[in-house]
């Protein structure tokens, strides 16, 4: 039976770096955010979002993602509404993806909102990636076209590291990537032994 490892961490923690490293070790990695973007292009999802958020959210049969983000990031109820449309579709997409990787001893499901979405209960193990807040902020400012205030808003919209750590099987501090890699490899060895 394939073991499913949840991989999460706050914005800027470096979880994508860890996900990429796991993929380089030939571990199948499912990126929930990419899947979310993919399902948001499906006609029935676009129509469901349009029904809830109005016709001006769609331009030439495509979602205006910037406008949608603006609405949901400032309104927890609207975010819940959007997630109620997206999450079931991503869950279904993951089920299909998992069938393609059923011969793997374990797979990784990477999501920034693993705990917030409640999907963490579906996994055999959970890895949380952490980094100091200032490191996270500077990483996001370098990669995104956002300001410090926007990054802080996004940090505060997510669970804290303390909340995530309390429910995790492994915590990887991603400041020194080489130390983080060693921790990941050790964890994979333990998982392999317990297969």
What are the binding residues for ATP?
12-17
> CA triplet 159, 160, 166: central angle to 5 degrees?
95
> CA triplet 153, 39, 41: central angle to 5 degrees?
95
Residue 77 CB: number of other CB atoms within 10 A?
8
Binding residues: 12-17
Q: How far apart are the first and last CA of the chain?
A: 8
Question: Which residue, 138, 104, 123, is CA-closest to 28?
Answer: 104
Angle, helices 148-157 vs 65-73, to 10°: value is: 60
Q: Residues with Cβ < 8 Å from 37, sequence gap 6 or more?
A: none
């Amino acid at each position: 039976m394939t073991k499913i490892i949840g991989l999460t961490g706050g914005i800027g923690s470096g979880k994508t770096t860890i996900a990429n490293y796991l993929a380089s070790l030939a571990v199948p990695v499912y990126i929930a955010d990419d899947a979310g973007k993919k399902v948001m292009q499906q006609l029935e999802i676009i129509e469901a979002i349009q029904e809830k958020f109005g016709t001006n959210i769609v331009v030439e049969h495509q979602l205006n993602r910037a406008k949608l983000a603006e609405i949901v990031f400032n309104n927890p109820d609207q975010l819940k509404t959007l997630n109620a449309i997206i999450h079931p579709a991503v869950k279904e997409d993951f089920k299909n993806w998992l069938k393609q990787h059923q011969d793997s001893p374990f797979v990784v499901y990477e999501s920034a909102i693993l705990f917030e979405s409640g999907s963490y209960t579906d996994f055999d193990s959970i890895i949380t990636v952490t980094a100091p807040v200032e490191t996270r902020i500077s990483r996001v400012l370098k990669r995104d076209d956002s300001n410090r205030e926007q990054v802080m808003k996004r940090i505060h919209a997510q669970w804290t590291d303390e909340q995530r750590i309390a429910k995790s099987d492994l915590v990887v501090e991603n400041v020194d990537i080489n130390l983080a890699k060693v921790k990941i490899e050790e964890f994979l060895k333990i998982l392999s032994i317990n297969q």
